Structure 1
Amino acid sequence: MAVITRSENIEKPLPEGIEKVDKHKSVPVSVGEFFAYKNVFITGGTGFLGTVLIEALLDTHPDIGIIYVLVRGKRKVDPNERITRLLQKPIFQKYNETVLQKVVPVVGELSEPNFGFKNDLLEELADKVNIIYHSAATIKFSSPLRTAIRTNLTGTMRTIEFAKKLKNLSAYIYCSTAFCNSNNRGLIMEDVYKSQYDPYEMMKMAEDETSWVDFTDAKCKEIIRDHPNTYTFTKNLAENLMISEMSGLPAAIVRPSIVYGTWEHPIEGWVGNANSGHLGFLAGFIKGVFRTMCGKASSVIDIIPCDYVINASLVMGWYVGTRKLDVPEVIHCTSGEVNPLTLGELSDIMNASVKRHPPDNFVWKPKTKLRNGWRYNLFFYLFHMLPAMIFHIPEKILPIGMPQHTALEYMRVFNKGAKAFDYFLDRDFRYSLKNALQIMSVLNEKDKKRYNFDSTLCDWSAFIDRCLIGVRRFYFRESAVTTSWHRRYWTIFEVLYYVGYALIFAAIFGILKTLVGFYAGLPIAVLVWAFLFWL
């Protein structure tokens, strides 16, 4: 595997007056002080990570400047109204109106030159903006290649072009993903791995209409090669673009793994809309809708609290903004190497956690189990798809805003997403944290505590408790307090769970008794029932 080292990719000399220094040398500026009086530009600010980032920026220093949030122009949707609704979320309740007015929307398209800004707005931002956080991306594993290139690669190029227009650039932070190198094996280092294609050629291809005539899945697979999907492929390309374009500039790449809810900041268990990735699975799990996971029990699932990712991003802004570096810094924000959690352990923790903190209502007793291959597929179709076709699922236990008649389609989408994620659960990816831990070591003691992203300190059982309560509280709008009523409700469903199996046996036996008689039907019914119970 080719790795772009920190010496072989400096395509231009360092700017005049910049000297090479010890990059880990401590400087007398705290993280909060670094953000004072600086204006920030954010892409992806209305997403889960982006929302927590905005709150964290407001919290860094009372004198932080304006936070410009790039928002897409949509018909009948006023951008100011979008930001107003965003700032009404519970994580912003501690801020007064004066502070919240620092968050300002700017309408533009990520993949367009200069974001489609008019000249006066572009000049204003070039004069004022000091820090860029680029987190906007299409995170769907199944995104068409052209869409993924335009958003994840061309969009990154646009933010880089914008950064170079700034009169006073202090820091540029790109939120990548630990999975961008998932086509490699062994310990993945905090370096940029050379892409299989030239990122500039890929951007040209995305704009060439003839390249997409009769473009098939087979052609896509031929291009992405050993990458599992278009997401990891384009994220790797974007990192290569960073190395080529950002040499000598204060830039960093942060690579998170699977992002869950918050551990501590701004509040415990914040999960946003809980409608993507494993947070979406948790939302269905606690309502008894999703009752199986695919993967090996011994596989390490690398999860990380959302606020750890944000803390790492803030620290990297401070870090690259207070040092002179030759190429962008790269850090992993992961847990598997220092505090591993297996898929089997996660399943057990989730089952124990939901028993301690059951929701107000659910379809069936929440319980998940690991299954693989035909066993997973059979269980999914028997106990997920079939009930969705037969039974009425109350809207309040489906994802917010989803009509009842789309429950079946939701199951299909979930199954497709789960299968796409199987790639990451069947392999143990290992991520070096050497650079991340070194950078954390130069923080002062107060900042180490406030901006911690060392996952060795995570208690996974307590963390899943917080996430499940967060799903109850913020997504389903239920109480965060678990009462004796919740426990009685759980006990009733636990009894019904086993009564249900008895009824299944009775139904099977009744059908077989009619077809083949009592003596032949009984042993067959026992075998069928035992198989379903095992399944």
Structure 2
Amino acid sequence: MAVITEQTENLNDYVFVNNNNDAKTKEAIKSGISEVGEYFANKNIFITGGTGFLGTVLIESLLSSHPNIGCIYVLVRGKKRFDPNERIDRLLQKPLFANHSKKTLAKVVPVVGELSEPNFGFKEGLLNELLQKVNIIFHSAATIKFSSPLRTAIKTNLTGTWRTIEFAKKLKNLSSYIFVSTAFCNSNNRGLIMETVYKSKYDPHDMMKMAEDDMAWEDFDEIKCKEMIGNHPNTYTFTKNLAENLMMSDMAGFPAAIVRPSIVYGTWEHPCKGWVGAANSGHLGYLAGFIKGIFRTMCGVARSQIDIIPVDYVINSTLVMAWYAGTRKLDKPEVIHSTSGEVNPLSLGEFCDIMNESVKRHPADTYVWKPQGKLRNGWRYNLFFYIFHMLPAMLFHIPEKLFNIGMPQHTALEYMRVFNKGAKAFDYFLDKDFRYSLKNALKIMSVLNEVDKDRYTWDASLCNWTEFIDRCLIGVRRFYFKESAETTQWHKNYWAVFNILHYGGLGAMLLVFLWISGLVFGSTLGYGLAIALWSFLMWL
């Protein structure tokens, strides 16, 4: 049973229906058969976005679904100096796939192509082979940058979706088609967002034609872009909404579904606890900087909800929807949310408190300063960011380069610039209290037998957020920073030392202020100014 807040549409809408009375379901429970898993037996899969965070977990879950699953064709862009087979080999070498045999991993086959090109740019032989063999499509590829130019976002998020739809309609034996959208695609609306496709301002086909017309983009500046996307906060949500409208018009009558996840974090349980990938997807990047003491503030209001969802729950919902759409006659694509706010709400203030307590229990091997996050907004956030984020990052830049310390791949200063840009784009979603209906999602979840409810649930009421953040922080340590997953007494002692340094540093700051102000303004006025400045910075 899902736990419901008072803000839901109607309590009865969220009660699971007992559908375990039919003979087929009873037999499945008795024999321990997974109907969802059986659905994938001997079926060949085509995936876009397979090398990304979501795609990686999707591939692993598909391999785990049934021993007789067919080939999993992964669309890979052709890049110079990057062999597609090597990219897939590196993907399959991740700890996520450690329990799979070479024979099983050999089922993952890269196919080189471009998402926005007709037939993905495949050669005729490859195209014909795929049209004959592929049964199920998972389309999750997208440009997730909120700041992407509109033309780029249209070509990837809209035209790319159109190419997969064209491909799906040509398949000899299409079983199901799943489009991974986003809960934010309707963020231009307020109130409870339903599991339905909201009409777009423009026709998707007209927008795709516009993207191919060079003349249409002459003198197309930011002002014109904002006029076109209207109440949408960015080009990402705008084009995702267009892609959903395209799905509704062009996939009517086909076995298709749309899955809308919210803010995707690490795994809750499958295939392991706390898998976070490269920890650079969406909000996970904040956790990586947070546990190293680099990111020490978040922009937002404490009472606002942050709707997070484990990545394995998102993947569970996509697999179930493939089974659901493929075993029923649908007049139009089914739409579900993979979100948490209506069944297990988490405020931004609670989220920040949980992070601070979690990092005390599971500190990293090293950090540049004591990890501690605090919510701020407006000028207070901006001032803190530049004084306590950017300035230390600039001072730390030279030793970081010389001694190769700090964050992987980029310096703290580079991370700060990316973080600030991403945070400003993300602020919109953290102070609007978006609510997402789960009526259809829970209705579909209720038709699962007990075996599949246990394995393929995405009911976020089952998540303990404190435990979940613990798992994600340990996962960042283990999978991103390549540190031990075990928290030892040494970690606790190291934390205690930095705790002393933290408060000692604040005391030293006060003494420096008193000394400088005393020299400049004299003892009486100077000491008063020093204490006032120090108190202001402590409040900040």
Matched, 1:33 2:41: no
Aligned equivalents of 2:460 and 2:195: distance in 1?
16
Q: Specify the alignment match of 1:346 in structure 2.
A: 351
TM-score, normalised to structure 2, is 0.93
Q: How does 1:341-420 map to 2 (within 5 A)?
A: 341-392=346-397, 394=400, 398-402=406-410, 404=411, 407-420=412-425
Of the three residues 107, 110, 118, the one matched with 1:113 is: 118
Secondary structure of 2:223 counterpart? helix
Alpha-carbon displacement from aligned partner over 1:489-514 (angstroms, at most 9, x marks no partner): 00000011100101111111121111
- Please report the RMSD computed on the Cα atoms of aligned residues, expressed in angstroms: 1.4
- Corresponding residue number in structure 1 for 2:220: 215
Q: Please name the residue that 1:470 is paired with.
A: 475
Distance 1:143 1:24, change over 3 A: farther
CA-CA distance at 1:410 after TM superposition: 2.6
**Which whole-Å deviations, capped at 9, do the CAs of 1:166-203 have from their partners, x for residues lacking one?**
00000000000000000001111100000011100100
Q: Structure 1 residues 510-519 or 442-451, which shifts more?
A: 510-519
Question: CA 1:457–1:282 in 2, change beyond 3 Å: closer, same or farther?
Answer: same
Q: 1:238 aligns with which of 227, 236, 243?
A: 243
Identify the residue that residue 148 of structure 2 maps to in structure 1.
143
1:345 Cα deviation after fit = 0.1
Q: Which amino acid aligns with 1:400?
A: P
Q: Residue 135 of structure 2 corresponds to which residue in structure 1? A: 130
Give the distance between the partners of 1:25 and 1:72, measured in 2 at CA: 47
Per the alignment, residue 183 of structure 2 pairs with: 178
519-528 or 367-376: which moved more?
A: 519-528
Counterpart contact for 2:153–2:235, Cα < 8 Å: yes
| In structure 1, C-alpha distance between the alignment counterparts of 2:309 and 2:150, rounded to whole Å | 27
Letter in 2 for 1:195: S
CA offset digits 1:203-258 (Å, max 9, x no partner): 00100001111110000000000000000000000000000000110000000000
Q: 2: distance between equivalents of 1:442 and 1:380?
A: 49
Residues 45-444 of structure 1 correspond to what in structure 2 (within 5 A)?
A: 45-392=50-397, 394=400, 398-402=406-410, 404=411, 407-444=412-449
Distance 1:82 1:231, change over 3 A: same
Looking at structure 1, the residues matched to 144 and 508 of structure 2 have their Cα atoms a distance apart, in angstroms, of 43
The DSSP-based 3-state class of the residue aligned with 1:68 is strand
Preserved contact between residue 284 and residue 398 of structure 1 (Cα < 8 Å): no
1:409 & 1:324 partners in 2: Cα distance?
51
State yes or no: 1:527 paired with 2:535: no
Q: Shift of residue 400 of structure 1?
A: 2.4
**Structure 1 unaligned regions, length at least 5:** 1-22
1:32: Cα distance to partner? 0.6
User: For the structure 1 residues 397 and 368, does the alpha-carbon distance in structure 2 shift closer, same or farther, using more than 3 Å as the test?
Assistant: farther
Deviations 1:413-452 (A, max 9, x none): 2101101100000110011000000101010101000001
For residues 239-290 of structure 1, the C-alpha deviation after alignment (integer angstroms, 9 at most, x for no partner) is: 0000000011000000000000000001000000001221000000000000
Question: Contact conserved, 2:292 with 2:369, CA < 8 A, in 1?
Answer: yes
Q: Look up the equivalent residue of 1:287 and give its one-letter code.
A: K
Q: Is the 8 A contact 2:367 2:406 kept in 1?
A: no
Residue equivalent to 1:479: 484
Contact 2:368 2:406 (8 Å CA) reproduced: no
The 10-residue stretch of structure 1 (512-521 or 219-228) with the greater mean CA deviation from structure 2: 512-521
Output the CA distance in 2 between the equivalents of 1:427 and 1:286: 27
Q: Which amino acid aligns with 1:129?
A: V
Contact 2:186 2:241 in 1 (8 A): yes
Greater mean deviation of Cα atoms: 271-280 or 101-110: 271-280
Residue 228 of structure 2 aligns to which amino acid in structure 1?
I
Q: Distance in 2 between matches of 1:355 and 1:53?
A: 32
In 1: Cα distance, 2:90 partner to 2:281 partner: 20
Question: 1:25 Cα shift?
Answer: 11
Letter in 1 for 2:363: P
Deviation at 1:343, TM superposition (A): 0.1
Q: How far apart are the structure 2 equivalents of 1:389 and 1:89? A: 34
Match of 1:13 in 2: none
**Deviations for 1:8-31, whole angstroms, at most 9, x for unmatched residues?**
xxxxxxxxxxxxxxx999776700
Aligned counterparts of 1:445 and 1:88: Cα–Cα separation in 2: 33
Q: Using the alignment, how far apart are the partners of 1:533 and 1:497 within structure 2?
A: 12
> Matched residues in 1 for 2:417 and 2:61: separation?
36
Q: Distance in 2 between matches of 1:302 and 1:53?
A: 21
Structure 2: any 5+ residue segments left out of the alignment? 1-18, 26-33
Instruction: Measure how far apart 1:389 and its partner are.
Output: 1.2
Q: 1:24·1:438 contact (CA, 8 Å) conserved in 2?
A: no
Which amino acid in structure 2 is aligned with residue 353 of structure 1?
A: S
Partner of 1:461: 466
Going from structure 1 to structure 2, the CA distance change for 1:233 and 1:398 (only over 3 Å counts) comes to farther
After TM superposition, give the deviation of residue 408 of structure 1 in Å.
Answer: 2.2
Percentage of matched positions with identical amino acids = 72
- Tell me which amino acid in the other structure corresponds to 1:455: A
For 1:68 and 1:323, locate their aligned partners in 2 and report how far apart those are by CA, in whole Å.
Answer: 25
Tell me the amino acid that sits aligned with residue 318 of structure 2: S
Q: Distance in 1 between matches of 2:167 and 2:406?
A: 41
Q: Distance in 1 between matches of 2:216 and 2:360?
A: 53
The change in CA–CA distance for 1:379 and 1:159 in structure 2 (over 3 A counts) is same
d(CA) in 1 for partners of 2:530, 2:21: 72
Contact 1:24 1:439 in 2 (8 A): no
State the one-letter code of the partner of 2:429. Answer: F
**Which residue type is aligned with residue 167 of structure 2?**
F
Kindly indicate whether the alpha-carbon contact (under 8 Å) linking 1:397 and 1:476 is maintained by their aligned counterparts in 2: no
Q: How many residues were matched structurally?
A: 510
Q: Secondary structure at the match of 1:277?
A: coil
Q: Is the 8 A contact 1:170 1:321 kept in 2?
A: yes
Hey, what's the Cα distance between the residues in 2 that align with 1:165 and 1:399? 46
1-side partners of 2:355 and 2:242: how far apart?
A: 36
Distance 2:442 2:362 in 1: 34
Distance 1:391 1:326 in 2: 59
d(CA) in 1 for partners of 2:417, 2:111: 36
1:131-172 deviation digits (Å, cap 9, x = unpaired)? 000000000000000000000000000000000010000000
C-alpha contact (below 8 Å) 2:344/2:461 kept by paired residues: yes
1:76 Cα deviation from its structure 2 partner: 1.0
